[in-house]
Amino acid sequence: MKVNQVELVISAVWVEQYPDEQLPEFALAGRSNVGKSSFINKMIQRKSLARISQKPGKTQTLNFYRIENQLFFVDVPGYGFAKVSKKEREKWGEMIETYITSREQLRAVVQIVDLRHKPTNDDVMMYEFLKYYQIPVILVATKADKIPRSKWQKNAKVVRETLDFDPTDDFVMFSSETGMGRDEAWHAISAKMDQ
Ligand code: GTP
Ligand code: MG
């Protein structure tokens, strides 16, 4: 998909702030610093619309990006970032949980993991949480550019096994650096737009 029009409609924390539009939504989930914002930027081919940093914890609200009047990407703060207080973590949990469990427009969660490593306990918990609520998942294993091609399949298998991956979900190997997997990810998203 060629994207011309992108707008950050709102950075929301609570339900009353979510946009009123009825467009399908795709929320990002993943460890802090794993590459969620970079994924969005690659998909829409903007260098830095969704904010990226070396420092984990950059994204702190639910950021609703409207794409071509067709869908929203909802950038979500990462989990597993140790340097936040317990209170902040609870607030985070509530914000994400409320959104994921109550938002009718949510068509799928794009869960991002790092293809280089075995998924963390937090990754496993997030996937289990999504499956418990029967949310379709597009699992994106990113940073493929950081390991040799000869390891891709083997690492993908470790990711699937560790998550007890549901074969009816989509699995995409990806790189925000090279654009690998971009078409496949758009394909998975398009297929879920009308569901
Ligand atoms: P939070 O908002 O803090 O949760 O982080 P995030 O998941 O949005 O991660 P972000 O997109 O900000 O990326 C974190 C770091 O990883 C940045 O330095 C990115 O440039 C880098 N990065 C993300 N994706 C890739 C990738 O596919 N390949 C490489 N080589 N680097 C990547
Ligand atoms: Mg981010």
d(CA 14, CA 86): 19
Output the CA 78–ligand 2 centroid distance in Å.
7
3 state SS of 9: strand
**41: amino acid identity, one letter:** N
Output the CA 185–ligand 1 centroid distance in Å.
17
DSSP one-letter code for 33: T
More confident residue, 47 or 132: 132
**Sequential DSSP letters for 51-98:** ---SSTT---SEEEEEETTTEEEEE-PPB--TTS-HHHHHHHHHHHHH
User: What is the set of domains in the chain, with CATH numbers?
Assistant: 6-193 (3.40.50.300)
pLDDT at residue 57, as a whole number: 56
Ligand closest to CA 58: 1
In the chain, DSSP finds a helix count (H) and a strand count (E) of 5, 7
Per-residue pLDDT for 82 more than 80? no
Question: Quick one: how far is CA 100 from the chain centroid?
Answer: 12
d(CA 144, CA 102): 33
Output the residue whose Cα is nearest ligand 1's atom 2: 59
pLDDT at residue 39, as a whole number: 95
What is the best residue among 48, 52, 61, 62 to mutate for testing ligand 1's pocket, by most ligand atoms within 8 Å of CB? Answer: 52
Q: What are phi and psi of 159, to 5 degrees?
A: -60, -50
Query: Using a 6 Å CB cutoff, which residues line ligand 1?
Result: 30, 32-38, 52-54, 56-59, 77-78, 142-143, 145-146, 175-177
pLDDT (mean) for 101-115? 97
Q: What is the mean pLDDT of the chain?
A: 90
